[in-house]
Amino acid sequence: MKSKRFTEEQIIGILKQAQAGMKVVELCRMHGISDVTFYNWRSKYGGMEVSEAKRLKDLESENRRLKQMLADTMLENQAIKDVLSKKW
């Protein structure tokens, strides 16, 4: 997985600079990001505070863990059904 150059705190700081009136083009040039990256960040983190971003990250990791647990359980159930359906 690709490592991120910017933390959520830094991203929110950059977005706050844009809200304060700094031009997006100058902001992107200053931080070395593209316009597309900025607008993607704005759609994901727009209007958030740092604590909310941390909570979002925690919820995403918990969701990923729960999905993995569900997939494992479904795989075990399917294996058990396959074994029980065979005639001995």
Q: What is the pLDDT of residue 43?
A: 93
CA angle 6-40-55, nearest 5°?
A: 60
Query: Shortest CA distance to 39 belongs to which of 48, 28, 50?
Result: 28
3-36 per-residue burial string, b: 16 or more CB within 10 A, e: under 16: eeeeebeebbebbeebeeeeeeeebbeebebeee
Side chain identity, residue 74 = M
Domain ranges of the chain: 1-48, 58-88
Residue 50: predicted pLDDT = 86
pLDDT in tens, 19-74: 999 999 999 999 999 999 999 999 988 888 888 888 988 999 999 999 999 999 99
